[in-house]
Amino acid sequence: MASAPKETLCPVRRAMTLIGSKWKVLLLQNLRDGRQRYGELKRRLPDISEKMLIHELKQLVEAGLVTKHAYPEIPPRVEYELTANGQQALPVVDSIIAFGRQYL
């Protein structure tokens, strides 16, 4: 009998799968201010590579934490925004911020 993936049985594993990278947490933090264009997110996170930014945004969209709005314009315009589920992750982000401040 096949067992269920461990992340479906453990809420900590599931949460870490959804938001467990530093870039995902930083993206959620930046998106709390509202809809952001791709270029603005890149400017706010200058240390992230293009490849990693694309990858992390794609995963957040697939997880249902962020929505992607693509506009049929030239040049293309793409914006990202937190979903209701993404908003629910913000208290976790706030706790990480508070924890980090204790160690600054």
Q: What is the mean pLDDT of residues 15-44?
A: 94
- Name the CATH architecture for the domain at 22-102: Orthogonal Bundle (1.10)
21 in Cβ contact with 56 (< 8 Å): yes
Domain boundaries, the chain: 22-102
pLDDT at 58: 97
Contact between residue 90 and residue 20 where contact means Cβ atoms under 8 Å apart: no
Q: pLDDT-derived band of residue 5, with 50, 70 and 90 as boundaries?
A: low
Q: What is the mean pLDDT of the chain?
A: 91
pLDDT over 90 (residue 104): no
CB under 8 Å to 36, separation ≥6 — which residues?
A: 30, 44, 79, 80, 81
pTM (2 d.p.): 0.86
Count of CA atoms in the C-beta half-sphere (13 A) of 2: 2
